[in-house]
Amino acid sequence: MKIAIAGATGRMGKMLIEAVLNTSDTQLVGAIEHAGSSQVGEDAGAFLGKKTGVTITTDIAAALSGAEYLIDFTRPEGTMAHLAVAQKTGSKMIIGTTGLNAEQLDSLKIASKNLAIVFAPNMSVGVNVTFKLLEVAAKMLSEGYDIEVIEAHHRHKVDAPSGTALRMGEVIAEALGEKLDEVAVFAREGHTGERKQGSIGFATIRGGDIVGDHTVLFAGEGERIEISHKSSSRQSYAQGSLRAARFLQKQATGLFDMQDVLGLRN
């Protein structure tokens, strides 16, 4: 599989490059970075002490000219720029970018009519199995339990709550027959009054180098149930991304997520 990486000099980008270089059925053919990066023009494997022959570039079209797949963990505006070019080159996309707005999500849906895309707020296999566990738990604990989503990430993360936390809330809300935006509580301060029955609360922690911790608390009378996933390395996201690329080998068009990739949809 011929793969290009967007955000090639970032923490996730470097992890993806390393995973591609160390996997037998993948080949690195492109590396994209924004114009302000001091590493533009360098070999994409320089941070590993390896010569790949792939130069980090700001030219999206050049990076995707030979790419069957583009893996993108950047920011919404970057992802949209990459999507516009991928539609021309036919490069299938694996997108882990979070914080996309409604208009940008619509752009993915429109593009997927002609391009195969896996879009997921978290590519980790473990996280996506956790989504399935939350769906089951929410249905079984639909009465008599208060639900809180607690997430923690490193100090550099720019969006909150995390895309994974929001997806957890969506999974739970859907299982309960609700819409997240109608039951979510994202902030509490001052005299808030009693907790509203049926709401889903969110708490956000930012600090240090935390890769990503997520816990959903189901608090009932006399007992608490916690379902947690804790990441100690971005390696799980990289391996999940490659698994998504393999899934797309058999897809010509369509918008998919990791539940599709892992066969957890039903």
Catalytic residue among 34, 50, 132, 157: 157
214 labelled catalytic:
no
Residue 129, CB half-sphere, CA atoms under 13 Å: how many?
8
Helix (H) or strand (E) holding 64: helix 60-64
Q: Catalytic site residue 229?
A: no
CA 28 to chain centre: 21
Concatenated DSSP letters for 152-191?
A: EE-TT--SSS-HHHHHHHHHHHHHTT--HHHHEE----SS
**Rounded CA gap, 13 and 7, in Å?**
5
- Full DSSP string of 74-121: S-HHHHHHHHHHHHHHT-EEEE------HHHHHHHHHHTTTSEEEE-S
Give the contacts of 101 (CB within 8 A, at least 6 positions apart): 76
Q: How far apart are CA 225 and CA 101, in angstroms?
A: 32
Q: Which strand ranges, in their side-by-side order, compose the sheet holding 200-206?
A: 184-185, 200-206, 146-153, 212-220, 223-231
Catalytic-labelled residue, pool 153, 154, 179, 250: 153
Rg, the chain, Cα only: 19
Q: Are 221 and 235 in contact (CB under 8 A)?
A: no
Residues marked as catalytic: 153, 157
